[in-house]
Amino acid sequence: MWKVINRVHPLDPVARCTVERRMRALGLAGVPNARSARTTRPAPPGGHEPRDRLERDFTAGAPDQRWVADITYVPTWTGFVYVAFVMDLFARRVVGWRVSRSLRTDLALDALEHAIWTRSRDHRDLSKLVHHSDKGVQYLAIRYTERLAEAGIEASVGSTGDSYDNAAAEALNKLYKKELIWRRGPWRGLDDVEIATGTAAPIGDSG
């Protein structure tokens, strides 16, 4: 927290002991080092995986041809919260998102439901849509893949298992952190992150 405060306010630095004392007075504790945060866990081997239909080609010729999805984390005074995004590759625009304290499948599924709802509300045709993600257990969960099939959306999963498999979504996460999270933090908790994300994320028409 001390490093975050001094990064946000470089012209008015405070001592580490001052931050620790103020946090103790408020009954707050520091969150673990950000490098320890995990967002998606690899699915166990042996299960069925959709093939990689993008093969690292993150372009689209029209809206609702290709979506990418991923999860990132935000450190707050009360612990990590997690943000799931679904982005349309045509205009690089967020079409669905959710914030949660949990990394369970519901987080990714709620973001997907939000995306489907926003596009269905605008009477968009999703019949030619490919949804791409990494090999995170949330995206390979039966409930998630069944929901894609129910909506007529074709699933795609990165084949190699590294960050380049989902580079467009990774770039969105980095932009979100740079332009919102690090610039406007530190954050008290989930509610603050949720409100700020809803204000900043350009939700809706992607073309």
Tens of pLDDT along the chain (207 residues) come to 545 544 544 555 556 666 566 655 555 555 444 444 656 555 555 557 899 999 999 999 999 999 999 999 999 999 999 999 999 999 999 999 999 999 999 999 999 999 999 999 999 999 999 999 999 999 999 999 999 999 999 999 998 767 789 999 999 999 999 999 999 999 999 999 999 999 887 654 455
The radius of gyration of the chain from alpha carbons, rounded to an integer in Å, stands at 18
* Residue 132: its H or E element: strand 130-133
Predicted local distance difference test score (pLDDT) of residue 49: 87
**Tokens linked to 81:** 């919260």
Say if domain 66-200 classifies as CATH 3.30.420.10: yes
Predicted local distance difference test score (pLDDT) of residue 35: 47
- Helices 105-121 and 142-150 pack at an angle, to 10 degrees, of 10
114: left (phi over 0), alpha (psi -120 to 50) or beta: alpha
CA-CA distance, 167 to 174, in Å (whole number)?
Answer: 10
Q: Which ranges constitute the DSSP H helices of the chain?
A: 2-8, 16-25, 105-121, 137-140, 142-150, 167-176, 182-184, 190-200
**Tokens linked to 27:** 């009954």
- Domain-wise residue ranges, the chain: 2-29, 66-200
Are the CB atoms for 22 and 5 separated by under 8 Å? no
